[in-house]
Structure 1
Amino acid sequence: MRKMHVLMTNDDGYEAPGIKALASAISEFARITVVAPDRERSSCSGALTLREYISLKEQPSYGANIQVFSCGGMTADCCKIAIEGLLVNDKPDLILSGANRGYNIGTDCLYSGTVAGAMEGCVFGIPSMAVSLERINPEHFLLRACKFTVELVKEIFVKNQYKGTLNLNIPYMEQLTLNKLKLVDLGLHRYKNAIKVITDTDGNQGYWIGGEPEIEIEPKNTDIYWIHRNKVTLTPLGWDMTAYNEQKIIHNIVKNHVDEF
């Protein structure tokens, strides 16, 4: 029987513990090709390295059924090079991006390289999922979260042959079971004190972007609301950013200038 072929990527780099642990867990039932950045690329979103040389080097395997490549580009570069180059004659059945150290919830998804990796699956018509974990250190949590992800992958993508793109966020908890799962929308994630003025070693003024999440009361149907109540969140994603509920409003504003089809 043919083994499922899974392309894996991330934005933390190919040596990150999260991708190693998840690849090892998934490799128990699938063949894995890892194509991940050769260094930390967090918050790279869907950035592409256009019209420049991008390196691709095979690296030591994480274990049986896992082939590993490091890429000199961003996460989206990794996926495009894999799908249309390296694996053009061996297309993956599934793309998994992660496991990321730190949530990718709400509007953070706009900036996330982890989510961008899964979105390449959406663009290419390949089932995909971004996997992100609470930023916490115990190795046993990482292993537990990866085991949970395996169960979810089998249920959604193997058993039920789901064809879409998903965003999964897993908080720390002692018992991870499928009944902890909430199917939710993305929330609005704002940050306070995000910009700081700093100086470099030569005394030149510049800026630092960071900040802390604002604590707001989010609607109950959002990932932000439930992740802070210790629930695993799952959100279907799509490439279409059209604000359909705004179309009538803007049509009424510009209707005298719109070329009607």
Structure 2
Amino acid sequence: MRILLTNDDGIHAEGLVSLERIARVLSDDIWICAPEYEQSGASRSLTLAEPLRVRRLDDRRFATTGTPTDCVMLAVTELMDGQRPDLVLSGVNRGANLAEDVTMSGTVAGAIEGMALGVPAIALSQMSWPTPGEEPADQPVFLPAEHFGPGIVRRLVEIGWPSDVVMNVNFPSRPLDQIREVEVTRQTFRDLHVRQAVQRTDPRGETYYWMGFRRELSKPADGTDLRAIYDGRISVTPLHIDLTHQETVHRMRSVLGGAPPRA
């Protein structure tokens, strides 16, 4: 396979090193195009108001001033010598991409851009802190992803999936001997708000805010991505970008349709 790697943590991220190790178990034909700087939370943003710069680090490794979406689009259409990849791998993200967070994730967005360009794509993320109440695993952060990733990617490629779907894989932060299962899950939505803005003061006395997440557990149902990670299982979630809520479509068609209502 010809495999394209990208991420949202940047070209120098430790997770990208791990992703390359995963990919080289599967193929020798590896290409990398990743952001020059961290683009976490960039979602599917595309750089339109300024030019993109590309820095070639070696024959098959590039850094760009753009987002993960920019990187995948440029690699597939401009940088890979006219030969499209057979697979896009995005990650390995430092931190899980679960529940509603997938809509903001640059890691997932990199995979989605691959899918949009007709290339099968997988996003991989590593939970980087233990579930509250558990002791931190005495091992490198990305060890679970590196250990289990090649087999999961290989099996997914063997099975295949629809062309309008991306696979979102999340690894728990557990010792390897405590990770015994892979679960195919559905995306869920947290029952609490974990995003936060932390107010701080700079050396000039001015207020600024640092955006982040509180480490609080929600109460997810069985079969969901969050539940799997909480319970120490590897979560594999098929995602697509059709955000239409079909139940509401069917309900509203009976009451809103035809001529536009007057004010």
TM-score, with length taken from structure 2: 0.85
Letter in 2 for 1:170: F
Q: Does the CA contact (< 8 Å) of 2:144 and 2:174 recur in 1? A: no
Which residue type is aligned with residue 34 of structure 1?
A: I
Residue of structure 2 in register with 1:64 after alignment? none
Post-superposition offset of 1:144: 4.1
Aligned twin of 2:40: 42
Give the aligned partner of residue 20 of structure 2.
23
Task: Give me the whole-angstrom Cα distance separating, in 2, the residues matched to 1:108 and 1:193.
Answer: 10
**Structure 1 segments of 4 or more deviating over 4 A?**
136-141, 176-179
Tell me by how many angstroms 1:12 deviates.
0.6
SS at match of 2:61: strand
Q: 2:9 aligns with which of 8, 12, 31?
A: 12
Instruction: Indicate conservation of the 8 Å contact 1:122/1:165, yes or no.
Output: yes
What amino acid does structure 1 have at the position aligned with 2:239? L
Q: Percent identity?
A: 29
Q: Which amino acid aligns with 2:251?
A: I
1:32 alignment partner, SS class: strand
Q: Using the TM superposition, give the Cα deviation of residue 154 of structure 1 relative to its aligned residue in structure 2, in angstroms.
A: 1.2
CA distance in 1, matches of 2:19, 2:194: 33
Amino acid at match of 1:107: E
Contact 1:49–1:77 (CA under 8 A) maintained in structure 2: yes
Distance 1:80 1:222, change over 3 A: same
Secondary structure, counterpart of 1:191 in structure 2 = coil
CA shift at 1:200, angstroms? 3.8
**Pairwise mapping of residues 146-165 of structure 1 onto structure 2 (< 5 A)?**
146-157=146-157, 159-162=158-161, 163=163, 164-165=165-166
Kept in 1: contact 2:139–2:175 (CA 8 A): no
Indicate how the Cα distance of structure 1 residues 219 and 28 shifts in structure 2: closer, same or farther if over 3 A, else same.
Answer: closer
Letter in 2 for 1:180: E
What residue in structure 1 maps to residue 181 of structure 2? Answer: 180
Residue of 245, 248, 251 corresponding to 2:247: 245
Q: Is the 8 A contact 1:45 1:113 kept in 2?
A: yes
Alignment size in residue pairs: 250
Deviation at 1:13, TM superposition (A): 0.6
Alignment match of 2:196 (pick from 191, 194, 197): 194
Residues 253 and 97 of structure 1: CA distance in aligned 2, closer, same or farther (over 3 Å):
same
Residue number in structure 2 paired with 1:58: 56
2:24 alignment partner AA: S
Cα 1:86–1:180 change in 2 (3 A) is: same
Alignment-mate amino acid for residue 176 of structure 2: Q
Quote the Cα distance in structure 2 between the aligned partners of 1:143 and 1:209: 27
- Map Cα deviations across residues 3-49 of structure 1 (whole Å, 9 max, x no partner): x1001000011111111122123113311100000111111111111
CA shift at 1:257, angstroms? 3.5
Which residue does the alignment assign to 1:112? 105
Contact 2:25 2:150 (C-alpha < 8 Å) held by counterparts: no
Q: Residue 28 and residue 219 in structure 1: after superposition, are their counterparts in 2 closer, same or farther (change >3 A)?
A: closer
Match of 1:32 among 30, 33, 55: 30
In structure 2, do the counterparts of structure 1 residues 94 and 252 end up closer, same or farther at CA, with 3 Å as the change threshold?
A: same
Aligned to 2:132: none
CA distance in 1, matches of 2:26, 2:35: 25
Displacement of 1:155 in angstroms is 1.2
From 111, 119, 127, give the equivalent of 1:126.
Answer: 119
1:82 lines up with 2:75 in the alignment: yes
The runs of 5 or more residues in structure 2 that have no matched partner are 130-136
AA aligned to 1:184 is T
